[in-house]
Each structure stands twice: as structure tokens, then as C-alpha cells.
Amino acid sequence: MSKTDSDKRKTSRPGSSQAGNKQAGGKHAGGKAVTGKAFADKNFADKSAADAADKRGEQARPTRDTGKSTRGSKANVGKKPAAADAPELRPLPPQAKGDKLVEDEKLQKVLARSGLGSRREMEVAISAGRVKVNGKVAQLGDRVGPRDQVSLDDRPQSLKGAEETARRVIMYNKPEGELCTRKDPEGRRTVFERLPRLKGERWIAIGRLDINTSGLLLFTTDGELANRLMHPSTQIEREYAVRVMGEVKREHVVNMVNGVMLEDGPARFTDVQEFGGEGINSWFHVVIMEGRNREVRRLWDSQGLTVSRLKRVRYGNIFLDKRARAGEWVEMEQSEIDELSTLAGLEHRKAPALTPDEQNRWSRDKQKRRPVRAMKKPPQRTRKPR
């Protein structure tokens, strides 16, 4: 080996360069500065002691600054190694149960996913003090895990993970005169009375229609899907068929497309198409991007025109199914549910197969899904005198 090669090897050894000395230089517990060479000598001594111990089947301890091995010392017999000698522990990943990760999530999100209502409804329930976690009244922003006990209105709830929640969606053709509420103090008919029954879940309405509006109404068991589809940031089209009373001029249509200032802010139609009509009544199809209360009617009212009939025919990419007559519901196919999930920015989730019990219950509900019409009183029969 030439002298030049030997010099190159020497300069490439750890601790031989000035930069290596600066990087390796430091202080031991004793406070003395230690150079890179001292570190190299110490590491070599530790390695030699470990090799010798391996041959004897013993475990050697690292040498101190003095270079003496502590193996076999009576002072160290039976003592546990110092904490500094223990290997560094890394944080464990979240526990897994099945295919889902078990970790803390926002309370309102978990409640909505479990089918107890939309996320907005759950936020209102939490603010009202109706939700408790481990016996204490919950606050907005609280997070819960799989071991937390949650109750709604003092009723214990079984929280579900994302993979455990079935994403079912049904389409309902709402007739006029029904309310979009679960219970009405005046005893009027509600849309929920006609829906199929669920065990351990509940239907959540995706949007609302007022009592005098008919047409397409979607219901789901997934609160997160309902929340995403209803949120204004999603910008989902809603198409309505409107019958207007009065003469509709071009300037009226232009005003409503450009935008009108209502009591609760600006509003506009993104599209208006005329569909004919007779006399003073004209039919139009209008498209709107949000679902504020009576927004379609108020836009026409701003032009001095009265809506005499209003029916929703489309929500996003879902059109009202002709198979569903007024007061009837139709279960949506998996492909249609996937389209809605994509529209909401959610991953596709396949609904689990129905149990035999659920199949029987759903088949019975399908047979009874037609609206109950009032029957005329049968004529009273009078006996003829003999």
C-alpha cells in the first residue's frame, strides 16, 4: 500500500478530521471536555468488552470513563440498568379493532355517524346539555374514544365506528301537507311516519321541504353524509318545478338570475327554464344552490309573482324516481349511494347485507308503503220488513 493511500485512509477514519472532532466533542457527566479520539477509544473498549462477554455467555456493561469494566462488580449485582441505558421507546400506534382504528374523535361527529341525527342537530343537542360523557354534561369540542360512555337525553348510546355504520339512503316522494319533523304537537302527519323502521338506527333527512312543497326528499342512516350534503360549502344543485300565477316578464327572470337581496341575504337562481302553461299559470324549472327556508317562493315574491305549486324534482345528481308515487319511498341502489358519497367528498362504503329479520321487516314495510287514503263510509243497510 502506498503512503498516499495510507494517508487517505487515516484522514477518513472517524474523529480524525477537525470537523469530526468538533461534532464529537462534548462533556461527560464529570464536566471534562472530551475529544473525538477519546470517544473512539471508549467505543473500542466497549466493543472489546462486549465481544469477550459473548464468548463467556455473559453480558458486559459499558465501560466508564476510567476504561474499567463493571462486569462482575458486587455493587452492581441485582441492580437494574440505569434509565439512560434503556432503549428509547416509540409511541404505540392507535389500537386496532377489526379494520377500523380506535381513536378519539369529535363527539358530534361520532353521534351523527351513529345515526342519532345530523352533525348540526348533535351540536344543538350538546349545547343544550342533552349529551353526557361518562356521567358529565358534554361541551362542544369534546372528543370521545371507544371506552367512553355516552348518553343522549339520559339514554345510553352505542357509538359506532366508520366501518360499522351502514350507509343506507332512501328516496321519498313527499306529498303536500306533511311536515319534515319527527313529532308535531298539533298531531299533523310527518314524513317520518311513512318511512321503513330501523333497529338501532334512525333516518336523517337530507334537507327539508315546507308543508306546502312536495317532491324529492332524501333520507340516510349516515349523519356525516347528511351533514356534508346539506352544508352550503358543498354547493349542490336543487331543481324545482314551479307553477307561477301572473304574467312573468323577461326582466323578472333576469333579476332572479342576477340576484335579489332578501331579508337573510342575497339569493339567486342559477338557471330558469320555461315549461309552458295555461291562462295565468305558467310552469318553470328553476335551479338553486342552497336550501334556505322558502327561498324559491321568496325569490318569486320579490318580483310580485305568487307560487301556486312547488315540487322538488332533483337533488344533486339524483332525480325523483317515477316508481315512487306521492307518499311512497324507494331504496336507492349502491351505485346511486356511491355517487352521492362522491358528491359529498366521502369514501364509498358498502352497506352490509340485511339480516333475515331486517329483510322480513323491510318487505312488510314495502307492502305498506303506499299512502293510506281515507275510505268512504259504507252505506248503512236497512232491513226490509218481512
Active site residues: 210
In this structure, which amino acid lies at residue 84? A
Q: Give the C-alpha distances (Å, rounded to integers) separating 10 from 3, 16, 85.
A: 11, 7, 32
**At CB < 8 A and 24+ separation, what contacts does 336-342 make?**
336/169, 337/167, 337/168, 337/169, 340/169, 340/218, 340/225, 340/229, 340/316, 341/167, 341/225
In angstroms, the CA 201 to CA 213 distance is: 27
In angstroms, the CA 220 to CA 279 distance is: 41
Phi-psi region of 17 (alpha: psi -120 to 50; beta: other; left: phi over 0): beta
Backbone angles phi, psi at 338, to 5 degrees: -65, -40
Candidates 103, 104, 143; CA nearest to 126 is: 143
Using DSSP's 3-state secondary structure scheme, residue 53 falls into helix
Burial of 147 (0-12, 13-18, 19+ CB in 10 A): exposed
In the Cβ-directed half-sphere of 17, how many Cα atoms lie within 13 Å? 9
Helix intervals (H) in the chain: 3-12, 18-24, 36-56, 107-113, 119-127, 223-230, 250-258, 295-301, 334-344, 356-367
DSSP collapsed to 3 states, 55-101: HHCCCCCCCCCCCCCCCCCHHHCCCCCCHHHCCCCCCCCCCEECCEE
